[in-house]
Structure 1
Amino acid sequence: MENKVKIHFLGAAGTVTGSKFLLETPELNILIDCGLFQGIKSLRELNWKDFPFDPSAIDLILLTHGHLDHTGYLPRLVKQGYKNPIISTPPSLGIAGVILKDSAKIQEEDAERANKEEYSKHKLALPLYTSSDTEKTIGLFKSIKLNEWYQISENIKYRYQTNGHILGSAFIELDIYEKRFVFSGDIGRKQDVLLESPKKPEWADYLFLESTYGDRLHPEDDSDEILTEAIINTLNQKGNLIIPSFAVERLQGIMYKLYLLIKRNKIPEIPIYIDSPMGNEVLSLFEGFSKWHKLDPAEFRKMLSYFNIITSYGDTWKTIDENRPKVVIAGSGMVTGGRVLTYLRYLIDKPETTVLLVGYQAEGTRGRQLENGASEVKIFGKYCPVKAKILKIESLSAHADQQELLDWLSEIKNIPEKVFLIHGEPTALDSLRVKIKDLYKSEVIIPALNEIISLKP
């Protein structure tokens, strides 16, 4: 039997979304991540295509972390016949469960709204998958421990090591026929407010490296100062400060920053609402997995007491109608769905409103449109003029920048035979390719979507 490994680049190749990497080996077929495509329509439409490999022939799925672009296709794959374990760290599986339930609910609600208001091009709008599909998926979850090797066949074993991106996230090392395959997942920051610095790989024969910010360094903007000024201006203008936020990590990080500003008397008293059902569940996970982050449990509980946590959609409407200055942190971070759309639908046309973007905005999302100065955005089938002030904090990114990515490679003792750059837009991929080639003398490959590359360990 020839020990050939085929790598199928089924997502996050030439783009930042839809992470899926299938390793086809003589012993096992292993899928690394199973993400949903997001952003521009041509990418989103890929989610509706059948998986290009028989799902029932995949032996196991290893997830680097719980984000939608790494887990969101799982129920669809299960619907198509996948029945084997879905493996990750306990917090990652907790987050994946929350995100998948929320994703199914949003898709069901969007389909129902499209059918009711008749703005879908299809005769009958259908969800990509249902809550029932999600429950079947969660039933396949199996957790593992960090830093422990798991032998899964005669010549294949794997290990997880933390990479600092979000709660529970990790990079994956696979030893296959005595060659080490390293999948970086999404690499976090060295000075994250909530998480410890990423661990670094020490050996990699074949490296699969994320490149989200491969072409830039994060600016040294003062996030505390931007938050403080935005809140003072909101009070002076008697307006609303709306912060679209990713429910995982970003929401908790923003809350912690605001809590510290309040605690140090840096910002005046103002009502702060947290309107993210998914974010609320992730807050519970932070409390349940206290050893996986920096916050002391008592301090964490004290922090929560400073915020108004919205639990019902009825309270969303009450908050919108409330005629006093306030801060609202609501999902989603790229303004693609969730509660933030309801706020923006009624408040983005008001000049006293400020929208503060606090993370990466993918191509084709409303967040990217706002970042680029759009004069109007389409929400629930209607065009809304943008009169609000749009601000951005770039230093809060949960992704390593170019220098941090290069530093993450600094402890690899060998020269990798091949480095595959994934999870990046074209300019980021090419810029990082040049840097790695010059610094490490490895062969650097930028795979195309659906490309299959054979390796001979």
Structure 2
Amino acid sequence: MSNTIGSDPVPKPSAQARGNAGARVTLSPLGGAGTSVLVDTGHARVLVDCGASPALAAFDASTLDAVVLTHAHPQHADGLAALAHNGFTGVLIATPYTLRMADIGLRDALLTRQENEGPAAAAERAATRTGPGPALPDDDPAAIAATVAALGIGREFGDPAVIAPGVSCTLHRAGHALGSAWVHFDLGAAGTLAVSGDLGRHGHPLLRHPEPFTHADTVLVEAAYGEGRRAASDDRDHLAHTVFTTLDQGGTVLVPAGPVDHIATVLFELARLRRVGCLPDGVTVCFDGPTGLESVGVWRDALLARDPELHDAVLDAGFGALDVGVLTEVRGARPGAHPSGSGGGIVVAGPHHGDGGRAARHLRELLPDPRNAVLLQGRSPVGTAAHALARGATEVRIGKDIVPVRAEIARLPGMTTHADAGEIIEWLGRGTEPNMTYVVHGSPGARVALRDRIRNTLDWNAEILAGDAVLGR
């Protein structure tokens, strides 16, 4: 299949064979914390997002015509390598910024895994690999970049992409991450489908609000914060106090965050602290890992281009919006220490949930010392180290070790880029009522809560997408 999307696509043979299937569309969840949904129109098979999961790892990706990425956060994009391994040769549709961030995130995940495994374990895994495809592209950073470049089709907001005859999609600004999108599908005789992806919150420090929803026959909506409103909090004051106090007493501040999580929002807040004197000149902010500065470079490109995704005030500030003074990157920093060799610094290390990777190594060394602090943004997945810390645990399991918690744990629940339940309802309510709204992506409780709120507040038909759903007119 040609990786050219436009008004005259060249369908794969499998798509041509399915061309007379009729105006029925099947939606099938494929795991990945509820983020991966297969849309089978009979004319085309399209996967929306691809969070890694056992179901995705076993999926025959050679039958796919396209993958549409709403954004590059790991829960939505870290299954790309498995898809390529399992025969995916279709097109990868996303905004240009999302494609760049997906490449960065996948390479960082590989390098983190290699650091955790060591060469012997990596060689053993390679020797015992099974599956229909060649060596996984995530065995080699260069192969990851080549895979994304070969399959990726960058699409700007509002620019329709024709996937197969009678099947197209258009990306719209979601305001959650740089390049993030919600997706509107035109499915021909089967009607239209809107997929929210992750919507951004009101008051995002860098990005504009999501473009409004108008209408679709069917809607898939995320429920990451479906259980209620994000607390109106004094997070900025808490952040300022924690950073200033920790640095003043010679401690280290750890920010668990991967390169495509929310690094830019962390830098924005630290830059603000620097402007008001809470982050002294000369304090180094260091990324422990090889891709942090590359991620920041994508944001700087957006600032330089005066990308309309960004707030006017951010564009007017230019590079100053993210200027924290001394910003560096060190791979393999000594766990628990600032890479400069002394205390009194800020380390950013992923993953954001603190399980495994560089963040876990730093947590193991930092948590027992009361001079140190750990900043936890938004919510963390249940069962992770970050979730335990946020709930006030006095000790946590890091790998095989039980680690006492004496460092300050600064919970910053309002510093999330996710829309809360009220904002999701507001986004939906600006459009006309669909035939059905399916709730996806979120904890079981969050999905139930958002489903009920849609029913009670909007008086719409709403269900949780727990199995196959058949659409048609």
Question: Normalised by the size of structure 1, how large is the TM-score?
Answer: 0.88
Equivalent residue letter for 1:76? A
SS of the aligned residue for 1:412 comes to: coil
Separation (CA, whole Å) in 2 of partners of 1:182 and 1:454: 15
Alpha carbons 1:63, 1:86 under 8 Å: kept:
yes
| Structure 1, unpaired ranges of 5+ | 38-45
Separation (CA, whole Å) in 1 of partners of 2:446 and 2:255: 26
Alpha carbons 1:175, 1:181 under 8 Å: kept:
yes
Number of matched pairs: 437
Other-structure match for 1:176: 187
Other-structure match for 2:378: 359
- Encode CA deviations 1:101-139: one digit per residue, 9 max, x unaligned: 1112222332327849x9x9xx98999842265245312
User: After the TM superposition, which of the residue ranges 311-320 and 431-440 deviates more from structure 2?
Assistant: 311-320
User: After the TM superposition, which of the residue ranges 164-173 and 78-87 deviates more from structure 2?
Assistant: 78-87
Change (3 A) 1:360 1:124: farther
Other-structure match for 1:374: 393
Alpha carbons 1:217, 1:401 under 8 Å: kept:
yes
- Encode CA deviations 1:349-406: one digit per residue, 9 max, x unaligned: 1122211201220112211121123333333433322222212111111110011111
Matching of residue 11 in structure 1 with residue 31 in structure 2: yes
Alpha carbons 1:204, 1:416 under 8 Å: kept:
yes
Change (3 A) 1:269 1:186: same
Other-structure match for 1:218: 230
Equivalent residue letter for 1:31? L
Alpha carbons 1:161, 1:170 under 8 Å: kept:
yes
Alpha carbons 2:200, 2:419 under 8 Å: kept:
yes
Other-structure match for 2:323: 304
Separation (CA, whole Å) in 2 of partners of 1:258 and 1:111: 33
Alpha carbons 2:336, 2:365 under 8 Å: kept:
no
Change (3 A) 1:316 1:289: farther
Other-structure match for 1:421: 439
Matching of residue 134 in structure 1 with residue 147 in structure 2: no
Alpha carbons 1:104, 1:134 under 8 Å: kept:
no
Separation (CA, whole Å) in 2 of partners of 1:8 and 1:324: 50
Alpha carbons 2:333, 2:339 under 8 Å: kept:
no
Question: Normalised by the size of structure 2, how large is the TM-score?
Answer: 0.85
SS of the aligned residue for 1:238 comes to: coil
SS of the aligned residue for 2:22 comes to: coil
Other-structure match for 2:39: 23
Other-structure match for 1:40: none
- Encode CA deviations 1:69-127: one digit per residue, 9 max, x unaligned: 111011111101111111100000000000011112222332327849x9x9xx98999
Separation (CA, whole Å) in 2 of partners of 1:374 and 1:113: 34
Q: How does 1:39-58 map to 2 (within 5 A)?
A: 46=54, 49-51=57-59, 54-58=60-64
- In structure 1, which of residues 72, 75, 82 is the aligned counterpart of residue 81 of structure 2? 75
| Structure 2, unpaired ranges of 5+ | 1-20
Other-structure match for 1:198: 210
Q: How does 1:337-416 map to 2 (within 5 A)?
A: 337-413=356-432, 415-416=433-434
Change (3 A) 1:349 1:115: farther
Change (3 A) 1:317 1:429: closer
Other-structure match for 2:11: none
How many angstroms does 1:298 deviate by?
Answer: 6.5
Separation (CA, whole Å) in 2 of partners of 1:48 and 1:249: 22
How many angstroms does 1:431 deviate by?
Answer: 1.2
Matching of residue 147 in structure 1 with residue 158 in structure 2: yes
Alpha carbons 1:270, 1:325 under 8 Å: kept:
no
- In structure 2, which of residues 289, 292, 296 is the aligned counterpart of residue 279 of structure 1? 292
How many angstroms does 1:200 deviate by?
Answer: 1.3
Alpha carbons 1:112, 1:125 under 8 Å: kept:
no
- Encode CA deviations 1:192-214: one digit per residue, 9 max, x unaligned: 10101111110021000000111
Higher relative contact order (CA 8 A, sep 6+): 1
Equivalent residue letter for 1:296? L
How many angstroms does 1:243 deviate by?
Answer: 1.8
Change (3 A) 1:31 1:303: closer
How many angstroms does 1:325 deviate by?
Answer: 2.4
Separation (CA, whole Å) in 2 of partners of 1:367 and 1:151: 42
Separation (CA, whole Å) in 2 of partners of 1:425 and 1:172: 22
Change (3 A) 1:107 1:158: same
- In structure 2, which of residues 453, 458, 463 is the aligned counterpart of residue 435 of structure 1? 453
Matching of residue 162 in structure 1 with residue 173 in structure 2: yes
Separation (CA, whole Å) in 2 of partners of 1:84 and 1:417: 30
- Encode CA deviations 1:330-365: one digit per residue, 9 max, x unaligned: 322111344322322222111222112012201122
How many angstroms does 1:176 deviate by?
Answer: 0.8
Separation (CA, whole Å) in 2 of partners of 1:307 and 1:378: 33
User: After the TM superposition, which of the residue ranges 323-332 and 93-102 deviates more from structure 2?
Assistant: 323-332
SS of the aligned residue for 1:87 comes to: strand
- Encode CA deviations 1:254-305: one digit per residue, 9 max, x unaligned: 2112212221234555724221433321101011223142333873157436
SS of the aligned residue for 1:434 comes to: helix
Matching of residue 187 in structure 1 with residue 206 in structure 2: no
Change (3 A) 1:134 1:235: closer
Separation (CA, whole Å) in 2 of partners of 1:63 and 1:355: 31
Alpha carbons 1:270, 1:326 under 8 Å: kept:
no
Alpha carbons 1:34, 1:70 under 8 Å: kept:
yes
Equivalent residue letter for 1:168? G
Change (3 A) 1:113 1:384: farther
How many angstroms does 1:321 deviate by?
Answer: 7.6
How many angstroms does 1:317 deviate by?
Answer: 7.5
Change (3 A) 1:422 1:302: closer
Separation (CA, whole Å) in 2 of partners of 1:400 and 1:33: 18
SS of the aligned residue for 1:86 comes to: strand
SS of the aligned residue for 2:194 comes to: strand
Separation (CA, whole Å) in 1 of partners of 2:445 and 2:398: 30
The root-mean-square deviation of aligned C-alpha atoms, in Å, is 2.8
Separation (CA, whole Å) in 2 of partners of 1:5 and 1:305: 49
Change (3 A) 1:151 1:49: closer
Equivalent residue letter for 2:169? Y
